[in-house]
């Protein structure tokens, strides 16, 4: 997809020849024929011009024709040789101009999760005045893998602010921080005889959440509605009036607010708060005494993330805590994503010399707040089950297992 809109050239995260802030007049004043000739004879580090297979064949043919022209003094052969050499020189010059005033940047569009597809994008822009850009390719490689992925620009990148985006669908294989490297940028334009390559050190770092896993629920974790019937600010069909919104197809006619509809000249419906179910607090102990096995610890992170997501979706997730940190309430998707970020960076605590399979205590202030608040939170703790499994417990009773 190619668009004509481009961002400001002074954006700090752009890389490449087009990211230079010098004006064309300043570059022209610094440019001399000696510098141009020397740049082709001895290019800067990280810039290479290498012949392709067809280029090697062309050079071989040119050498043969040159030898024949020298031995026979045939003018036609000399003209043919000059055309072949001019084609090679023109290919090198145009490949250099193809990169001129072109800049790029890596754009990670998360979130990323193990086993699920994510997108890594390369944004391009061309600030040349006249010449378009064709046929660029980019080698993208995650640090954890040895194989790189080549993305090819198949459309024309127009001059005067033309922009494009190349997307790579990527599936992470491990939890934690991952570095994405943009290793090389190349061009075969225009004839394919020479390949010009720019070596890049552009990298971006992304955070990968634990993988979702299947688990089994027991009766302890089954949903139940509290007898006290506390109301929360969540849309439902009973409780206190929460807000008014515009009528949508499928809404019950009983929810229409006729006075507001007459005043606003369109139908408005009422939204009520709903009664909250029992809330759960997830407490995770990452001690290496409790989790000596690496594979079991990774299953723990995935299990906790999946369980937290399911409880949040059903409106039953109250707080989360890791080790001795104070419990943090989860009221929005942003809070849940912050917990996933913590799980992505989680490492086992150092050994204390004695295993501790009991739930660690909550400080008294937090316990009082939970009891006197709007939700009566039930604490879920986690412990190994056998040599490979992980189980969640409520007061010593198994509530779920993965």
Measure the CA dihedral 28/29/35/37, to 10°.
40
Contact 395, 380 (CB under 8 A): no
Does a structural domain hold residue 151?
yes
pLDDT at 32: 64
Together in a domain, 175 and 282: no
pLDDT score of 45 more than 70? no
Residue 374 banded pLDDT, cuts 50, 70, 90: very low
Together in a domain, 30 and 168: yes
Together in a domain, 172 and 106: yes
Does a structural domain hold residue 241?
yes
Together in a domain, 197 and 90: yes
Together in a domain, 21 and 164: yes
Q: Give tens-digit pLDDT for 146-181.
A: 888 899 998 899 998 899 999 998 889 899 999 999
Q: What distance, in Å, lies between the first and last C-alpha atoms of the chain? A: 43
pLDDT at 234: 45
pLDDT at 397: 87
pLDDT score of 361 more than 50? no
pLDDT score of 44 more than 80? no
Does a structural domain hold residue 111?
yes
Between the alpha carbon of residue 134 and those of residues 47, 99, 102, 140, 237, the distances in Å are: 18, 9, 11, 19, 58
Does a structural domain hold residue 225?
no
Asked which of 159, 177, 209 is the last residue of a domain, the reply is 209
Residue 347 banded pLDDT, cuts 50, 70, 90: very high
Residue 188 banded pLDDT, cuts 50, 70, 90: confident
pLDDT score of 323 more than 70? yes
pLDDT score of 191 more than 80? yes
Number of domains comprising the chain: 3
- Rg of the Cα atoms in the chain: 32
Together in a domain, 190 and 239: no
Does a structural domain hold residue 27?
yes
Does a structural domain hold residue 390?
yes
The Cα–Cα gap between 378 and 85 comes to 80
Residues 6+ apart with CB under 8 A from 57: none
Together in a domain, 112 and 257: no
Q: Give tens-digit pLDDT for 12-32.
A: 588 888 776 555 455 555 556
pLDDT at 388: 87
Together in a domain, 74 and 184: yes
Give the E-state strand segments of 210-341 in sequence order: 216-217, 231-246, 268-275, 279-284, 317-322, 328-329
The Cα–Cα gap between 148 and 170 comes to 11
**CATH classification at residue 77:** 2.60.40.10
Together in a domain, 138 and 204: yes
Q: Give tens-digit pLDDT for 239-283.
A: 456 667 788 776 777 788 888 888 888 888 877 654 445 688 999
Contact 14, 105 (CB under 8 A): yes
Q: Give tens-digit pLDDT for 74-127.
A: 999 999 999 998 888 888 888 888 888 899 999 888 789 999 888 899 999 998
Q: What is the mean pLDDT of residues 213-220?
A: 85
Give the domain range for residue 352. 216-220+278-401
pLDDT at 33: 62
Together in a domain, 182 and 262: no
pLDDT score of 235 more than 50? no
pLDDT at 211: 93
Residue 67 banded pLDDT, cuts 50, 70, 90: very high
For residue 396, give the DSSP letter: T
Decide: pTM greater than 0.75: no
Q: What is the mean pLDDT of residues 40-48?
A: 66
Together in a domain, 186 and 155: yes
Does a structural domain hold residue 226?
no
Does a structural domain hold residue 192?
yes
Together in a domain, 258 and 290: no
Asked which of 156, 179, 209 is the last residue of a domain, the reply is 209
Element (H, E) at 311: helix 294-313
- In whole numbers, what is the pLDDT of the chain averaged over residues? 79
């Amino acid at each position: 997809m190619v668009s004509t809109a481009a961002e400001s050239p002074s954006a700090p995260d752009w890389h490449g020849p087009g990211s230079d802030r010098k004006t064309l007049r300043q570059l022209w004043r610094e440019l001399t024929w000696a510098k141009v000739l020397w740049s082709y004879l001895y290019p800067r580090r990280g810039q290479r011009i290498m012949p392709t297979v067809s280029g090697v064949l062309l050079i071989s043919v040119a050498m043969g024709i040159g030898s024949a022209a020298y031995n026979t003094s045939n003018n036609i052969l000399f003209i043919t040789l000059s055309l072949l050499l001019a084609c090679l020189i023109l290919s090198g010059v145009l490949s250099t101009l193809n990169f001129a005033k072109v800049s790029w940047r890596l754009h990670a569009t998360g979130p990323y999760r193990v086993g699920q597809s994510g997108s890594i994008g390369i944004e391009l822009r061309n600030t040349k005045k006249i010449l378009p850009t064709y046929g660029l390719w980019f080698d993208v490689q995650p640090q954890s893998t040895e194989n790189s992925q080549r993305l090819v620009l198949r459309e024309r990148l127009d001059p005067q602010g033309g922009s494009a985006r190349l997307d790579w669908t990527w599936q992470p294989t491990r939890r934690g921080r991952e570095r994405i490297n943009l290793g090389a940028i190349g061009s075969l334009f225009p004839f394919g005889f020479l390949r010009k390559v720019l070596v890049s050190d552009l990298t971006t770092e992304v955070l990968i959440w634990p993988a979702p896993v299947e688990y089994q629920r027991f009766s302890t974790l089954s949903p139940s509605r509290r007898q006290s019937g506390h109301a929360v600010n969540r849309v439902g069909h009973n409780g206190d009036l929460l807000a008014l919104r515009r009528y949508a197809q499928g809404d019950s006619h009983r929810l229409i607010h006729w006075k507001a509809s007459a005043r606003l000249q369109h139908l408005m419906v009422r939204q009520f708060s709903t009664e909250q179910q029992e809330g759960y607090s997830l407490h995770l102990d990452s001690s290496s005494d409790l989790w000596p096995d690496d594979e079991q610890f990774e299953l723990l992170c995935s299990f906790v993330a999946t369980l937290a997501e399911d409880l949040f979706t059903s409106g039953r997730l109250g707080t989360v805590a890791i080790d001795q940190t104070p419990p943090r309430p989860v009221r929005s998707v942003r809070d849940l994503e912050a917990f996933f970020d913590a799980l992505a960076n989680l490492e086992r605590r150092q050994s204390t010399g004695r295993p501790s399979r009991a739930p660690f205590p909550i400080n008294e202030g937090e316990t009082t707040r939970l009891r006197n608040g709007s939700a009566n939170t039930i604490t879920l703790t986690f412990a190994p089950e056998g040599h490979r499994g992980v189980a969640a417990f409520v007061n010593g009773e198994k509530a779920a297992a993965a």
